């Protein structure tokens, strides 16, 4: 169930970027200059595994990604060959199978003239990567495929960078994470009025303080506060679809509550004066 009062979406300035990680992984995946919409996120209580389904609406590509500890394979080549050997009934008949490497990724790809009984002309690429005890399984697919589209697949793999959580390289999402963390401290402390005042001006224009107080009081009574929360995805965009003059960000947290593990969403909008402020909070 989604608990939400606001309907303002958000995602940030400067450049389009997506950050993906698990609490247990020693690095964060950064995908640069790709406008991705995250459609689904799944995690496990062990805080080591993550599945994300994303959509690139501009290029009409599906992008899915698993992060999990290495088990059945130890190198990028081994993981590529393991996925190919294991297969998937959903693939059906395919042709033009090819294997290779792109940077540190090992991949295989194939073409399907039909998928699910429909003449979709689908191209699939599976790219595997292993680093510091973790395995990344990336799947890219596109319908109505033409040969000139192959560069899109290569560019997606090249757009991925691994940023160490303990390294000196600054993560571009750190600023919005700090703003979100400060706001969540108000929310967790049941400081309903303060959390409302700290919302973006767009949100306060759409939701009265009385409405917010009712929402906040009810949430605190029924749900309470989490035992822990850790960032797993951050999406940044230069302009919001509904408010193109604003930049935005959306953070997803893997959070542990008395009732179990769930996902929290915090959206932010950059005000015209350059300040980042929270625009929405959702508990899944």
Nearest to 9 by CA among 42, 45, 37, 49: 37
Say if 31 falls within a structural domain.
no
| CATH number for position 70 | 3.40.1000
- Would you state the pLDDT for residue 12? 35
276 burial class (0-12, 13-18, 19+ CB within 10 angstroms)? Answer: buried
What are the residues facing 139 on neighbouring strands? 64, 126
The domain containing residue 54 runs over which residues?
36-160
pLDDT digit string (tens) for 109-147? Answer: 999 999 888 999 999 999 999 999 999 999 999 999 999
Q: Is the pLDDT of residue 8 over 60?
A: no
- Would you state the pLDDT for residue 170? 54
- 128 in the same domain as 100: yes
Say if 52 falls within a structural domain.
yes
CA–CA distance, 248 with 37 (Å, rounded to integer): 13
Q: Is the pLDDT of residue 1 over 90?
A: no
Residue 101: CB atoms within 10 Å = 13
- 93 in the same domain as 130: yes
Last residue of a domain, one of 110, 126, 160: 160
Say if 17 falls within a structural domain.
no
| CATH number for position 271 | 3.10.450.100
CA–centroid distance for 92 within its chain: 29
Q: Average pLDDT in the 138-158 region?
A: 96
Residue with the bigger pLDDT between 246 and 185: it is 185
Last residue of a domain, one of 114, 131, 160: 160
Number of separate domains in the chain: 2
Say if 93 falls within a structural domain.
yes
- 155 in the same domain as 203: no
């Amino acid at each position: 169930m989604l608990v939400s009062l606001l309907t303002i979406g958000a995602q940030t300035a400067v450049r389009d970027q997506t950050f993906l990680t698990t609490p247990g992984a020693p690095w964060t995946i950064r995908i640069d200059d790709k406008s991705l919409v995250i459609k689904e996120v799944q995690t496990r209580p062990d805080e080591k595994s993550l599945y994300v389904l994303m959509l690139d609406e501009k290029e009409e590509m599906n992008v899915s990604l698993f992060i999990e500890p290495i088990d059945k394979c130890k190198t990028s080549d081994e993981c590529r060959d393991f996925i190919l050997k294991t297969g998937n009934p959903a693939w059906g008949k395919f042709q033009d199978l090819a294997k290779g490497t792109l940077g540190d990724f090992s991949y295989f790809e194939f073409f399907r003239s039909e998928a699910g009984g429909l003449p979709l002309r689908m191209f699939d690429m599976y790219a595997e990567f292993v680093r510091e005890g973790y395995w990344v399984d990336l799947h890219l697919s596109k319908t109505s495929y033409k040969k000139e589209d192959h560069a899109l697949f290569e560019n997606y793999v090249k757009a991925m960078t691994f940023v160490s959580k303990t390294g000196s390289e600054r993560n571009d999402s750190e600023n919005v994470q700090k703003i979100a963390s400060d706001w969540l401290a108000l929310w967790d402390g049941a400081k309903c009025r303060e959390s409302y005042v700290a919302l973006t001006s767009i949100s306060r224009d759409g939701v009265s303080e009385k409405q917010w107080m009712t929402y906040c009081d009810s949430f605190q009574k029924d749900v309470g506060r989490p035992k822990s929360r850790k960032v797993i995805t951050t999406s940044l965009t230069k302009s919001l679809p509904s408010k193109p003059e604003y930049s935005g960000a959306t953070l997803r947290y893997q959070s542990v509550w008395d009732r179990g593990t769930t996902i929290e969403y915090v959206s932010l909008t950059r005000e015209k004066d350059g300040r980042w402020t929270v625009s929405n909070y959702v508990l899944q």
